[in-house]
Amino acid sequence: MVTAAKREPAKVTLTKAAVAKLRPPASGRRYYYDTRTPGLTVCVTATGAKTFYLYRKVNRRPVRHRLGTIEQLTVERARELAQERTGEQIQGIDIQARKRKAREELTLGELSALWLEHAKERKRTWKEDERQINKFLAGLSSRRLSAIDVSDLEKLATRVKADSGPYQANRVTALLSSMFRHAMKRKLHSANPAGMVDKFPEQSRERFLTADEAPLLFAAIKKAEPIFRDFFTLAILTGARRGNLQAMRWADIDLTAATWAIPGEQHKNGQPVVLPLVVPALAILKARAAERNGSPYVFASHGKTGHLTEPKAAWDVVRKAAGLDGLRLHDLRRTMGSWMAGAGVALPIIGKALGHAAGSAATHTYARLQLAPVREAVTAATDAILAASTPKETKSKTKSKGGRSRGKKTK
C-alpha cells in the first residue's frame, strides 16, 4: 500500500517584498513559516487576506496566536511581537487566557451605560452626563478600558477644548474620571487614567446684560414665538436657572402671594427655594394661565418630559437679532444678581433672591431672612432693567406728554 507523502510546511524568509509575492491558494488557506523567527507564520487565504500568526505548542498541542494583518503590522513588528509572545510563554504566561480576559473586559461604551444607570438614581444632572457621553465619547466607545491611557484622554480633552472651550473640556475629563472611579469601586477596572489629565485654566465669566444692551435684547425677544418670548422674559425677571424655569409647574406658583416655590428635588442644591414674583412676571404668568391646556407645566411641550427642554436654538435667533452673539442664557441669571449688587443690595439678599447654595454660616443668615426685603430688592432690580430696556425715544415722548417737568419753576 502506497501512502501519500506528508506535505512539508512552506518556509520563506519573510520580508515586505516576499510577503507581497505570496499567492493565494485555490481554496482554503496556506501558512508560510519564517526561516528567521521560530514560530512566525503568514496565513494566506483564498481571498488574498494575509495575517501574521505565532505558531507554538502549548502542553504538546499546537496553538496559533493571531498577531495582526499585514496592513496592521510590518514584518519587523511581527517579528518583535512573536519574540515577545514566545518569551511570555516560556515564563508560563497563558496568552490565550489573557486574550479571553481582554474579550470579557468592559468597553468605554459599556461603562457609559453602567454609569448612566448609576447616575439616574443619584444625580439630577444625569441628562447632562448623557449628552456629554453621546457628543464627546462616541469615538472611544468601542475601546476596552485597558486600551485607553492618559495620552488618549489628553488628546480628547484638547479636541473638546478646540471645539467647545476649556470649561467643557474640563467637564468631560471630570465625567470620565467619575466613570473610571465607579468602575474601580465595582472592581471592573484597576486604574483611572482621567485622574492624571491636567485641567485647562478657566476664566471666571462675568458677562451680564448692560443698560445699553437691554433695549436691543427686549426688542428681539418681543419678536420671538410666544412660548420663547415669555420664557426669556421670565428668565430675566426671576433670575432663575434655566432647568428650573423649563420645568416650572403651576402647582408651585401662588399668583395671590406672588411666589414661586421650587421643590428641593428640582433645585441644584437639593433644598426647596421660594422666589418672589415681581408684577411684570405675574402678568406673564396670568396670561399663560388663561390659556392653559391642562398641562401641569407653565411651558408645556409635546416631548417626553411634557415641558420645554431645549430653548438654545430660539435663544441663538434672539441674541443674533439683538447683535449680542456672546450673551448666554445663563447670563440673564447673572444679570439679576449684578444689577442688585450695583444697587447696593446686601449679598445674603442677592443669594436668597437667586436661590444660591451657601456655606454653613451663610445658610443660617439666609434662614433668618424674610421674603419682603428680597422682593423689594428684586422689584427694584427688575424695574431698573425694564426701564433700561425702553428705547430713549419712547422715554422722551412719555415725558413730553406730562407737560412741564416737576423740576425748576418757570416764570
All three cell numbers of 17, joined, read 517584498
Q: Looking at the domain assignment, is residue 207 inside a domain?
A: no
Q: What is the DSSP string of 248-313?
A: -BGGGEETTTTEEEE-GGGSTTSS-EEEE--HHHHHHHHHHHTT--S-SBTTB-SSSSSB----HH
Residue 57 has pLDDT above 90, yes or no: no
Q: Looking at the domain assignment, is residue 409 inside a domain?
A: no
How far is residue 233's CA from residue 97's CA, in Å, rounded to a whole number? 63
What are 260's strand-pairing partners? 253, 275
Please report, for the domain that includes residue 117, its CATH number: 1.10.150.130
What average pLDDT does range 187-214 have in this prediction?
Answer: 84
Q: Domain check: are 250 and 388 in the same one?
A: yes
Q: Domain check: are 290 and 368 in the same one?
A: yes
CB neighbourhood size of 255 (10 A): 13
Exposure string for 147-156, b = 16+ CB within 10 A, e = fewer: ebeeebbbeb
Please give the pLDDT value at position 365.
37
Q: Is the pTM of this model over 0.75?
A: no
End-to-end CA distance of the chain: 143
Residue-range definition of the domain harbouring residue 62: 10-104
All three cell numbers of 370, joined, read 424674610
Q: Looking at the domain assignment, is residue 401 inside a domain?
A: no
Share above pLDDT 90 across residues of the chain, in percent, rounded to a whole number? 45
Residue 405 has pLDDT above 50, yes or no: no
Please give the pLDDT value at position 378.
80
Q: Domain check: are 75 and 187 in the same one?
A: no
Please report, for the domain that includes residue 288, its CATH number: 1.10.443.10
What is the 8-class DSSP label of residue 107?
A: B
| Residues 381, 354 contacting (CB under 8 angstroms) | no
Residue 212 has pLDDT above 60, yes or no: yes
Q: Looking at the domain assignment, is residue 403 inside a domain?
A: no
All three cell numbers of 209, joined, read 446684560
The Cα angle at residue 363 between residues 357 and 365, in degrees rounded to 5 = 130
Residue of higher predicted confidence among 411 and 34: 34
Q: Looking at the domain assignment, is residue 407 inside a domain?
A: no
Please give the pLDDT value at position 10.
87
Q: Domain check: are 125 and 81 in the same one?
A: no
Residue of higher predicted confidence among 285 and 98: 285
The number of folded domains in the chain is 3
Q: Domain check: are 266 and 367 in the same one?
A: yes
pLDDT tens-digit profile of 263-310? 877 766 567 788 888 899 999 999 999 988 889 999 998 888 899 988
Q: Domain check: are 281 and 362 in the same one?
A: yes
Cα dist. 43→34, 48, 78, 178 in Å?
A: 11, 10, 13, 44
How far is residue 143's CA from residue 48's CA, in Å, rounded to a whole number? 28
Rg of the chain's alpha carbons, rounded to an integer?
A: 34
Q: Domain check: are 43 and 158 in the same one?
A: no
Q: Domain check: are 41 and 56 in the same one?
A: yes
Q: Domain check: are 190 and 305 in the same one?
A: no
Please report, for the domain that includes residue 84, its CATH number: 3.30.160.390
pLDDT tens-digit profile of 62-86? 888 888 999 999 999 999 999 888 8
- Collapsed DSSP state (helix, strand, coil) of residue 64: strand
Q: Looking at the domain assignment, is residue 375 inside a domain?
A: yes
Q: Looking at the domain assignment, is residue 1 inside a domain?
A: no
Residue of higher predicted confidence among 137 and 347: 137
Q: Domain check: are 98 and 152 in the same one?
A: no
* CA proximity to 367, closest of 376, 379, 377, 359: 359
Sign of CA dihedral 248, 252, 256, 257: negative
What average pLDDT does range 404-408 have in this prediction?
Answer: 42
Q: Domain check: are 33 and 47 in the same one?
A: yes
How far is residue 28's CA from residue 30's CA, in Å, rounded to a whole number? 7
Q: Looking at the domain assignment, is residue 201 inside a domain?
A: no
Residue where a domain terminates, one of 164, 196, 228: 196
Please give the pLDDT value at position 345.
67
* CA proximity to 48, closest of 15, 71, 66, 65: 71
CB neighbourhood size of 410 (10 A): 6
Residue where a domain terminates, one of 141, 168, 196: 196
The Cα angle at residue 42 between residues 36 and 46, in degrees rounded to 5 = 150
Q: Domain check: are 71 and 185 in the same one?
A: no
Q: To 10 degrees, the CA torsion angle through 321, 232, 376, 216?
A: 10
Residue of higher predicted confidence among 105 and 176: 176
